[in-house]
Amino acid sequence: MPLYDYAAVGKGCPKCRNGFEVVQKLAEPRLKKCPACKAPVERVISAAAVHGKYSTKSDSKLKDLGLTKYVKTSDGSYERTVGGGGPKMIRKPEDD
């Protein structure tokens, strides 16, 4: 079963504010509320596990394979550091 990451949409308890993981079946619906405090949560994208010939940390190897790498910045956005696909920056949504 896959492992999904969730985080609070707004304010929440320490568990959901910092993010948490849940093992769920593919057929199960996404969580809408934190199991602890019932605050609204959303599923967040996390890094995929890559194995085999693609499991490298070398930027030059990633570029040679035609892959794109994003690195999280201090403000929570992501900046493309390797490759040419996709946007240069993925900005963190502003809190309401």
Confidence of residue 50 (pLDDT cuts 50, 70, 90): low
CB atoms within 10 A of CB 58: 10
pLDDT over 60 at 90, yes or no: yes
Q: Any idea which residue has 């929440």 for tokens?
A: 12
Q: Is the pLDDT of residue 55 over 80?
A: no
The secondary structure of 13-29, three-state, reads CHHHHCCEEEECCCCCC
Contacts of 3 (CB under 8 A, 6+ apart): 21, 22, 23
Flag whether pLDDT at 15 surpasses 70.
yes
What per-residue confidence (pLDDT) applies to 51? 67
Residue 49: predicted pLDDT: 67
